[in-house]
Amino acid sequence: MAEPVVTNDSLEYDRSVIGVEVEVGTFEVTQEQVLKFVAATGEANPIYTDAEAARAQGYRNIVAPPTFFTTFRTRGGLDPKVKFGNTAFHAGQHCDFIEPLQVGDRISAKAKVLEVFAKTGRTGTMVFSVSETAYYNQEGRQVARIENSMVRRMMERGD
């Protein structure tokens, strides 16, 4: 069965959520959490385990490894309610680590949908929904930006 032609103009989704930023969580960076994360990942850099070593490198306290952001559980952001396909999956992630997290930081997270677009390739049409979560420290400085892409597509039974 031939798939209908889908263009960006004909996509069905809630366009009113594009670019609207919403709070999705706040987090305290604790020494206990950082030390558990470091032990689980096998990180050996002393700035991640020893406050004196961190201060000797110019930090005010123990530093959290960049991927520590994966421990933060955020609430869902706005949903563009894409009406396409019968399956969805994660299509990729891009992380910008702007400033290190340190024990004692209070982090707030804000999310927004950046865009929704159709793309047709050799396996048919897919619709991408791209969102961003930005993390800010207690001083209001952005410390990280995580961009996630989800794909929706039509899958026939047996695919």
Burial of residue 123, with CB atoms counted within 10 A of its CB: 0-12 exposed, 13-18 middle, 19 or more buried? exposed
Domains in the chain: ranges and CATH: 15-28+73-153 (3.10.129.10)
CA 106 vs. chain centroid, Å, equals 18
What's the sign of the alpha-carbon dihedral 80, 84, 86, 88? negative
CA 53 vs. chain centroid, Å, equals 30
pLDDT digit string (tens) for the chain, length 159 residues: 455 567 777 899 999 999 999 999 999 999 999 999 999 999 999 999 999 999 999 999 999 999 999 999 999 899 999 999 999 999 999 999 999 999 999 999 999 999 999 999 888 899 999 999 999 999 999 999 999 999 999 988 665
Return the number of other C-beta atoms located less than 10 Å from residue 53's C-beta: 15
pTM, entire model: 0.88
